[in-house]
Structure 1
Amino acid sequence: MSVLRTAVRRSRRTLVGAALAAALVAGTGGWAAGTTQTAVTGPAPGAAAWRADQSLGVRLPDPATTRPADVARFFASLTDAQRHSLAVRHPLTVGNLDGAPVTLRYEANSRAITAERDRQLARATDPAGTPEDHRRARTAADRCTALLTPGRQILAFDPRGRGQVAEVHGDLTTAQRTAVIVPGSDIDLASFDRTTDRYGTPAGMAGSLRTQLAADAPGTRTAVIAWAGYTTPVGLGPDAATGRLAEAGAPRLVRLLTGLTAVGAPAPAVLCHSYGSVVCGLAVPQLDRGALADLVVFGSPGIRRDSVADLHTTARVWAARDASDWIGNIPNVELLGLGHGTDPTDPAFGARRVSAERAEGHTGYLAPGTDSLRNFAAIVLGRYGDVR
C-alpha cells in the first residue's frame, strides 16, 4: 500500500507540474522561442595566469575566493606603479575584480575591450572562417568599439558566452547616492545599450535614472551602475520560468554589491527588473546587513520569496507594476522548479507599493516623464516622503 500511495503522490505532482507549465505557457502567450542558456560563472579568462604571477613577490588575491574587502586591502598596499602594472598584464582579471580600485578597473577594462576588439577584427578576415563567422566577428568588434567611446566607464567586461558588461554613469568614487540596475531576460553584450526599446536596456535605464537624479537633486553627487553581469534567459522559454540562471547570477550580484562596500561606495538602491528581480531575491539574503539601502523590484514575475521577511534585510523593499505590463498574466506560483512565487506587489508580500500609472508595457518603467521614474529617483535620493 505504501508503494501505491507513493506512486499516487508522484502522479499528482506530475499532473500539477504539467498544469503549472501549461498555465505559464498560456500566461505568456506560449514559449517564445526560448533557448536553454549555459550560465557563465567563475572568474574571467586569465585567472590562472594571474594566480601564477610572482612579479610582486607576494601571492595575488584569488579572484574566485578572496573577499572583496581583502582585495581592497591588497591594492591599498601597492604603489601606483604596481597597480598599473597588474592592470597591464592582467586586464580581464583586474577589470572584473570586485574590491579593486574603481578607476583602475576602468583602465583595465579599456585594455581588455581593445584586445577583444582586435581579436574579433582578426576573425572577421580569417580565411578559414565562413561568411557568417566574419559577420558575427564584425558585429562583436563593433560592440567593443562602442564600449571604447571616450567618457564611458566600464566597471566589468567578460567576453565569454553572450558577453557581460557593467557601466557606471556618474562618478562612483565621490557619489553620495548610488543605484544599481539589474536587468531581466534577453540582455547581454549585444543588447546592453541597443537603441530599440532603449528603456528596456540596462544602459538606457541607468542613463534615464541618472538624468532624473540630476534634475531632482542637482547638488547631490550620484552614480548609477548598469549591471549586465549574469547570463540572462533568452525569450520566454523554460529558462525564464525557472530559477536556474538566477541561482548562477545571484553570487555574482552579491560580489558586486560587497565590492562596492569594500571600495567605500555608499550602500546603493538596487533596482531589479523582470527576471532580474529573481536574481535579486536570491542574492539579497546573502548580503551583510547594511550592504544596500533599498530594494526596488518592478515588472517582477516573483522573487522566489514568500514575503519581505524572507529576504532577511534591513533595506526598504519596494514593488511596482503598471497595469499594461504583460507580466501580470504570469501565474504567481512556484512548484517543482517552475514559477517564481508570490507577486511582490501583493499587499500580503509586505513591500511598499510604488505608483507606475504612467509607465507603459513591460519595459517602460524608467522612460522619461513616468511617475515610476520619478518615484525610483526619490527612493535613490532617500526622499521617501516624495514616493507615491
Structure 2
Amino acid sequence: MTDQPYQGVPYEGYDPYQQPAPQQDWQGAAPQGAQEGYDPQHTQTWQGQTWETRTHAPVQAPPEATAYLPPVTGYPQQGYQQEQPGTAQPQYQQMGHPGPQPMAQMPQPHPTAQPHPQPMAGPGPATPSAAAPVSAPEPPAGEASGDGPSYGPATLAGNSRVTDAQRARLEGRSPIIEPGMQPALLTALLGLLLAATAGLGSYALAVPLVLLQAVTAAGWFRLNGMWPARQGIALAFGGGLAADAAVLGAGRGNAPAAILGTLGVWVLLSLVLQLRSHASPDERMYGLMATVASAALAILATGYLGADPHATSVGAAAVAVAAVTRALPLPTPASVVVSLLAAAGAGIAVGGMTGLGADGALLGALAGACALVGHRVAGYDYPSRFVHFTAGVALPLSAAAPVVWALGRVLG
C-alpha cells in the first residue's frame, strides 16, 4: 500500500494556500460556486492516511448535502426526467449548485417492463409531481384488436390443415364434387371417336385409344395426390402401349392372353420400381398400389381393341350419352336413373345400325353403369380441376372396357 493521501484530503503538511480542485456534481460539470470560493462545510472528505479504512471509524456525510442527489449510473434513468418542485431545486440553490438539467425524454417502455427505481424523497413538503402522459397499453398478440381477425393461442406443434373433404364431413356434406359438364363433353367426344373408328379397323381405333390410356395414367396418379410421379405415369402408359402392341400382333382372338400377360409383367415392373425407391415403407406401399392400379386401368382399356368392333361402337356410344346425361342439373337418384335409361337407348340405336339389335340395350346399360362408377370415383374427395379433365374424362371409358369386351364375346 502507498502512503500517498487521497487528493483533496487535509493531512499533515497540508499547504493552506493551495487552491483545492472544484467539486463536480453528478452530471460531471463543475459547480458554479466553485470558482467563487471553497466551502469546506459541504465537502465530503476522507479521514485517513491510506486506503485502508478498516482501522478508521466510518465518516457520515451531512444529510443535507446528499439527500437530493440521485444515484448516478452508466445510462440515463427515466425517473429523473423531471424535477421535484419545491424540494430539490431550493436545496441546490442554497448549496450554490445548479439544479439538475432536464434530460431528453426517452420512449416509454411496455407496461409489462420492470419498474424503474424512484428517486429518494426529501424532507421537504411532498407535492404531486407532473407525471408524463402514459400511452394506453398495447393488447397482447393473441387477443383480438376489435377490427381485425382473432387468432387462437399459439401451439408448439401447429395446427394441421383441414382439407375441404374433412370440412365437408364435419359439416355433414358429401365429400364429392361432380366433374361437371365440360369433362362430360370431353368424355362424349372421346367416346364418339372410339365408336366411329371401331368400324374402320384396329389401327384407326388405336389412335383415340392411346389418347385414352395416356389420360388415364396421368389422371389416376393426380387423383391419388401423387404428382408429378413421372416414373409411375410413364410406366402405366408404357403398359397400355405394350398391351396395344400385343393385341395388334396376336389378333383379336388372342386378346385376353395378350392383355393378361402384359398386366402380369407390368405388376412385376411396378414391384421392382418401388423396391429401388428410397422412400419410407408406407410411401412405397402407397406408390406401389397407385402404380399397379394405374397400369391396370391403362392396360384394361385395350379391351376396346380386342372386343368385337360392333360391341366397341355400342359401348363407347353408350358411355358418351351416359356421361352427358349424368352432368345435367338433376337430383342424384334421378340423374343416375336417367343416365342408365339414356345409355340403354343409345345401345339400342347404335345396335340397330351395327346389327346387334335389341341386345345393344343390355350392352349399353351395363356400359353406362360402369361409366357412372368411373364418374363417381373421379369426383371423390374434392379433386382439382385437373383431375376432372383427366380422370373425370378417362375413368368412365376405361372402366367400361372390360364389360364391352366380355359382352361383345357373349353377344357376338
How does the TM-score come out when normalised to structure 2?
0.22
How does the TM-score come out when normalised to structure 1?
0.23
- Compare the two structures and name the one with the higher helix fraction: 2
- Compare the two structures and name the one with the higher strand fraction: 1
